């Protein structure tokens, strides 16, 4: 099946620094990618929808200046957590949408555990 | 607000026993419903999805789920658990079109003992 590669799988950073997470579709092109966040014992929450070549659409309550999303190509979307703080520590997951004739499929990355000290 | 509830953060069964993972959603409007499975260090994989066709949906690995509108439920079942079924299972609902705007439950970890 289609593979979505998310990197890094785990990152630890100091408070105030920025962290970039990459989401790549390895064997298909994805015009739309999604970014989710999951806090311990809570559900995955959609943060934003990323469309290739256009600005991302953020969900209510998600700071677009803090969580910068870039979808510059059909195979890569990046999420940059700027000026990270301990409360940003979470599990971040991306997914990529593939549209075919009369159908669509969604493939997920394996997630990135961010710990901000 | 629209929500998805998965009863039980952990479910333990013996190998060969029935698996039942519960999922309820908050809306009376039949949405799109999904079950995903996540194995350690892997991304979520689609088990099955309901898209207003047959109410009993068959998925991969012997799993199936039944959509019950009157109960706003979409419980996942498997007649006989296998050790390889041990994983985290997520119920998700879309009130939009297809995979857009997915709302996930908190997940249920299935433990299978020999």
What's the average model confidence in pLDDT over B14-36?
90
- Give me the residues of B, 37-66, that contact A with CB < 8 A: 41-46
Q: What is the 3-state secondary structure (H, E, C) of chain B?
A: CCCEECCCCEEEEECCCCEEECCEECCCCCCEEEEEEECCCCCCEEEEEECCCCCEEECHHHCEEEEEHHHCEEEEEECCCCHHHCEEEEEEEECCCCCCCEEECCCEEEEEEC
Residue-wise pLDDT tens digits, A71-109 = 888 899 999 999 999 999 999 999 999 887 777 888 999
Tell me the shortest Cα–Cα distance from A79 to chain B, in angstroms.
17
Comparing alpha-carbon positions, the chain B residue that sits nearest to A10 is: B41
Cβ–Cβ below 8 Å for A104 and B99: yes
- β partners of residue A3: none
Sign of CA dihedral A108, A110, A116, B4: positive
- Give me the residues of A, 39-98, that contact B with CB < 8 A: 41-46, 49, 93, 95, 97
Residues of B in contact with A43 (CB under 8 A): 4, 90, 103-107
pLDDT for res A2: 63
Tell me the shortest Cα–Cα distance from B41 to chain A, in angstroms.
6
**Residue B100 sits at the chain A interface (C-beta within 8 Å):** yes
Residue-wise pLDDT tens digits, B49-75 = 998 778 899 999 999 999 998 899 999
């Amino acid at each position: 099946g289609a593979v979505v590669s998310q990197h890094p799988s785990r990152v630890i950073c100091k408070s105030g620094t920025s962290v970039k997470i990459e989401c790549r579709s390895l064997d298909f092109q994805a015009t739309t990618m999604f970014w989710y966040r999951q806090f311990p014992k809570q559900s995955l929450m959609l943060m934003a929808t990323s469309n290739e070549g256009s600005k991302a659409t953020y969900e209510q309550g998600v700071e677009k200046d803090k969580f910068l999303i870039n979808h510059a190509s059909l195979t890569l979307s990046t999420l940059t957590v700027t000026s990270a703080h301990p409360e940003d520590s979470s599990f971040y997951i991306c997914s990529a949408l593939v549209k075919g004739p009369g159908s669509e499929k969604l493939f997920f990355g394996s997630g990135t555990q961010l710990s901000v000290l | 607000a629209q929500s998805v509830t998965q009863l039980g953060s952990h479910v333990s069964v013996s190998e060969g026993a029935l698996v039942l993972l519960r999922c309820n959603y908050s809306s009376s409007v039949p949405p799109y419903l999904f079950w995903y499975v996540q194995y350690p260090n892997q991304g979520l994989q689609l088990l099955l999805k309901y898209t207003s066709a047959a109410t009993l949906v068959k998925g991969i690995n012997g799993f199936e789920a039944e959509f019950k509108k009157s109960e706003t439920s979409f419980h996942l079942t498997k007649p006989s658990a296998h050790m390889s079924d041990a994983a985290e299972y997520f119920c998700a609902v879309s009130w939009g079109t297809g995979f857009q705007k997915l709302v996930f439950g908190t997940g249920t970890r299935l433990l299978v003992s020999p």
